[in-house]
Structure 1
Amino acid sequence: MATNITWHPNLTYSERSELRKQNGATVWLTGLSASGKSTIACALEQLLLKEGVSAYRLDGDNIRFGLNKDLGFSEKDRNENIRRISEVSRLFADSCTISITSFISPYRVDRDNARALHKDSNLKFIEVFVDVPLEVAEQRDPKGLYKRAREGVIKEFTGISAPYEAPETPEIHVDTDKQTVEECAEQIYLYLKKESII
């Protein structure tokens, strides 16, 4: 735990929201690899930006090129990966930006901790379960990860040799084997409007 540090207050969230004419929130997409999280996140980000809403996408792979490049895929490292993303997404939401995260985030407790972090800051957290049957995800397998996991090359792969704990009560549930990318993004967009987040 860091010592000799001081929090420097600036604008309140309300003041920032008034100045930016926008609220902040985190849209947290969770699901198996190849479920469509990143594709939906990209579509949602573009939809929001076209509507003049400030939004920024935090993607699982992209974050590991920088902020989390020191982390592996053990359970401990996955926990730390999600803890860091929770903090970053909270900062984006506090800046009155719509933070869109697309991470497998396989453990329910990690997602619950992310939600609690936002709740403690009076920020909206919208969990989106990007649902797809495992067999469909394996058929898609754009990176060849499932194949390598089945061959034992990749250890601790979510859905094969490591668990995925599906959300029990997500705010939004999309089925990517039944819905198009555009339909999924639109469903999330309409939820944000209905809840007066945008």
Structure 2
Amino acid sequence: MTTAHPLSLGDPAAAARAAVPCERGATVWLTGLPSAGKTTLALALAERLRGEGRRVEVLDGDEIRTFLSKGLGFTREDRHTNVTRIGFVAQKLASHGVTVLVPVIAPYADSRAAVRAWHAAAGTAFWEVHVATPVEVCSRRDVKGLYARQAAGEISGLTGVDDPYEAPENPDLRIQTQGSSPAGSAAELHAFLTERDLA
């Protein structure tokens, strides 16, 4: 027995959904040192985009570590696995019209390049944003106390201090957060996305 498509049965709700064009989604990856301002920038931009009626998701690095990548450490291999898992989820969401903001350190260039390549293969927009806050500014902010703990010898492997951070050489956008408010940095990123019909 052949089941009729809902639209052929006069389903007005289904017809209305079919008539609404899907927004163009994109992944906006905010890479930078710990305490660079990545999450603050992502949340400020998300609030603005939602106010404009866009569908937005923020894939925060700490939340991902808790729920999606629990058990992974901070070796290069584990960091790569973490980044590629996030990239997979981001691409799937973006392909369905969601603007996905990813404030994640992603310290290695090859990991970020792999995620970009997946997006390109799927025809999904991917923008790499370098939140280029100098390490001395990040250490003064020290939102999570990581720099103080590293200096005290309590932890090691802090990205940008005693563990590598490969800053993007040619990011799609580079934002200097020092001397700018979160709203100002968000406005800069919003303008960048607007120029590309993503905001």
Same fold by TM-score greater than 0.5:
yes
Q: Which amino acid aligns with 1:43?
A: A
Counterpart position of 1:124: 125
CA distance in 2, matches of 1:181, 1:85: 24
Conservation of the 8 A alpha-carbon contact between 2:25 and 2:100: yes
Counterpart position of 2:91: 90
Counterpart position of 2:111: 110
TM-score by length of 2: 0.88
1:58 equivalent to 2:59? Answer yes
Counterpart position of 2:78: 77
Counterpart position of 2:42: 41
CA distance in 2, matches of 1:20, 1:48: 18
Structure 1: stretches of 5+ with no match in the other structure: 1-15
The CA deviation string for residues 86-129 of structure 1, in whole angstroms up to 9 with x for no partner, is 10100110111000000011101111111101000001101110
CA distance in 2, matches of 1:135, 1:74: 24
Go from structure 1 to structure 2 and tell me whether the alpha carbon gap of 1:17 and 1:174 turns closer, same or farther (over 3 Å shift).
Answer: farther
Which structure 1 residue ranges, 4+ long, deviate > 6 Å from structure 2? none
Q: CA RMSD in A?
A: 1.6
CA distance in 2, matches of 1:180, 1:68: 31
Number of equivalences: 183
CA distance in 2, matches of 1:105, 1:73: 11
Conservation of the 8 A alpha-carbon contact between 1:17 and 1:23: no
Counterpart position of 1:182: 183
1:25 equivalent to 2:22? Answer no
> How many Å apart are 1:21 and its aligned residue?
3.9
> How many Å apart are 1:18 and its aligned residue?
7.3
CA distance in 1, matches of 2:19, 2:47: 23
Conservation of the 8 A alpha-carbon contact between 1:35 and 1:131: yes
The CA deviation string for residues 162-182 of structure 1, in whole angstroms up to 9 with x for no partner, is 011111111111101122211
Counterpart position of 2:14: none
TM-score by length of 1: 0.88
CA distance in 2, matches of 1:159, 1:39: 19
For the pair shown, which has the larger CA radius of gyration, 1 or 2? 2
Q: Which amino acid aligns with 2:103?
A: S
Counterpart position of 1:157: 158
- Which sits farther off after the overlay, 73-82 or 144-153? 144-153
CA distance in 2, matches of 1:117, 1:54: 22
Q: Which amino acid aligns with 1:190?
A: A
User: Secondary structure at 2:175's aligned position in 1?
Assistant: strand
User: Secondary structure at 2:100's aligned position in 1?
Assistant: strand
Counterpart position of 2:6: none
Conservation of the 8 A alpha-carbon contact between 2:22 and 2:96: no
Counterpart position of 2:11: none
